[in-house]
Amino acid sequence: MLSFLRTNIRWIAGGFLLTFFSSFGQTFFIGVSGGELREKFSLTDGEFGLTYMIATLASALTLPWLGRTLDHMAGRRVVQFVIPSLAAACLLIAFAPNVIIVVLALYMLRLFGQGMMTHTALTETGRWFSANRGRATSLVVPGVQAGTALLPLVFTLLAAALGWQTAWGLAALTLIVFALPAISFLWAVERSPQADQAPGQAGYTARNWTVREVLKDPVFYLLIVCVLAPPFIGTTIFFHQDYLVELRGYADYAFASAFPLMGGTTVIFALVCGHLIDRFGAARLLPFFLLPLATASAVTALLTPLWGIYAFMVLMGISNGFTQTLVGALWPEVYGTKHLGSIRSVVVAFMVMSTSLGPGLSGALIDLGIELPVQLLWMAGWCLVACLALGLIAPVLVRRKLAGTPAS
């Protein structure tokens, strides 16, 4: 691992920084300023949630169009307009004069932060690495976990000392002064994947599908239904964590104190998954990757003692580690690398959309009297059915891969 990292540090570090700074457009970071935004514009919780959903859905609809730029432009060039756009969004959210501008700012944060920053990192990693794609992806995706652990705390401290608007201004400054030049430097040199594998080996890549072919492939939609489970379920649980704390009578800090446990577990199992992908291939692991999430959902639904939260966080960490690494490596293995930017942008759009729909749908069901623990049992069932479906899909994907061509 150390030898691999030394040889490829510039590309891995650039991808890690992209996923790290994507935090400025992630729900967990934006939510830190939720109270201030609601107070400034006199928004109720429901009105702010609707505003956020509209902005997120709009960003999901834009991603397939914007994401395809990676098929026509080097990643370092894409970074040079994505990062300044994210910085502008940080300034916009801080000094928005009205709700319409808030919607625009949220749209840009979600599009350029959660959407394009992670999309660029994983698309370029998928292209640049073939034999070690799983290992490379497992080293890039923990940037999100590092951002989760560090940035909300740093932002909170800065906001307490200088004000929340100034803190957003400093976020914009950090993107321009540090992130943009650092990532541009690290990615200034293109990398060619190692194309020295035979068809039976794990890193062997499928033929290069076009987006039109992918959208006509029934297997693609079965895969989407399955891979949307983690973002949908994870966002739903964390969005409604205050509801669960109140329902179970936990202390206010119960969830917050367990986040580091999830972050550490995610990093460990991202590395484990990366090793397994390079050994067996992403397709062969598909039938198993939702089992930790199914267990986490059931644990949250059925275990009421406080220690159930810690069991849930460990299981979510295992799920996140496997999901982020596996899904990152899956699409180039299944559909090739030539049109990977366009294909992944469609996938990311579906995933962003699921993160906006999950909290809204579950909240509506709660209002109808269906408590979240009951819903989580349904979600656990979704994961188990998806595992069975993936068990049928995986052999098809392996056969396709064997008929493909090496990545070049």
CA distances, 244 to each of 144, 299, 370 (Å) = 24, 13, 13
CB 130, CB 194: distance < 8 Å: yes
Q: What is the pLDDT along the chain (408 residues), one digit of tens a residue?
A: 677 777 788 889 999 999 999 989 987 788 778 778 888 888 776 677 778 888 888 988 898 888 888 888 888 899 999 999 999 999 999 999 999 999 999 999 999 998 899 889 988 887 777 767 777 888 888 888 888 778 888 888 898 899 999 999 999 999 999 999 999 999 988 776 654 344 444 444 557 888 888 889 999 999 998 888 988 888 788 777 767 777 888 776 677 677 778 878 888 888 888 888 888 888 888 899 899 999 999 998 898 888 888 898 899 889 888 888 888 788 888 888 788 888 888 888 888 788 778 777 887 788 888 888 899 999 999 999 999 999 999 888 888 776 654 333
Question: Which one-letter DSSP state was computed for residue 253?
Answer: T
* DSSP at 305: S
3-state helix, strand, coil in the chain (%, to 5): 85, 0, 15
Residue 264 to residue 276: CA distance in whole angstroms:
19
Three-state DSSP class for 369? coil
Rg (CA), the chain: 20
**What string of DSSP letters covers 20-33?**
HHGGGGSHHHHGGG
What pLDDT sits at residue 199? 42
For residue 348, which of 12, 66, 55 has the smallest C-alpha distance? 66
CA dist 91 and 108 (Å) reads 11
Environment class of 188 (CB within 10 Å of its CB; exposed 0-12, middle 13-18, buried 19+): exposed
Fold of 2-402: Growth Hormone; Chain: A; (1.20.1250)
Q: Find, among 74, 141, 84, the residue nearest to 108 by Cα.
A: 84
Compute the Cα dihedral for 342, 344, 346, 352 and give only its sign: negative
Distance, CA of 32 to CA of 158 (rounded, Å): 12
Distance between terminal CA atoms of the chain? 23
Q: How much is the pTM? A: 0.76
Domain residues of the chain, as ranges? 2-402
30: left (phi over 0), alpha (psi -120 to 50) or beta: alpha
Phi/psi at 282 (5° precision)? -65, -40
Please give the pLDDT value at position 198.
Answer: 41
Estimate the crossing angle of helix 2-21 against helix 75-95, to 10 degrees: 40
Predicted confidence at residue 96, as pLDDT, reads 92
What are the structure tokens assigned to 221, written together?
Answer: 């939609």
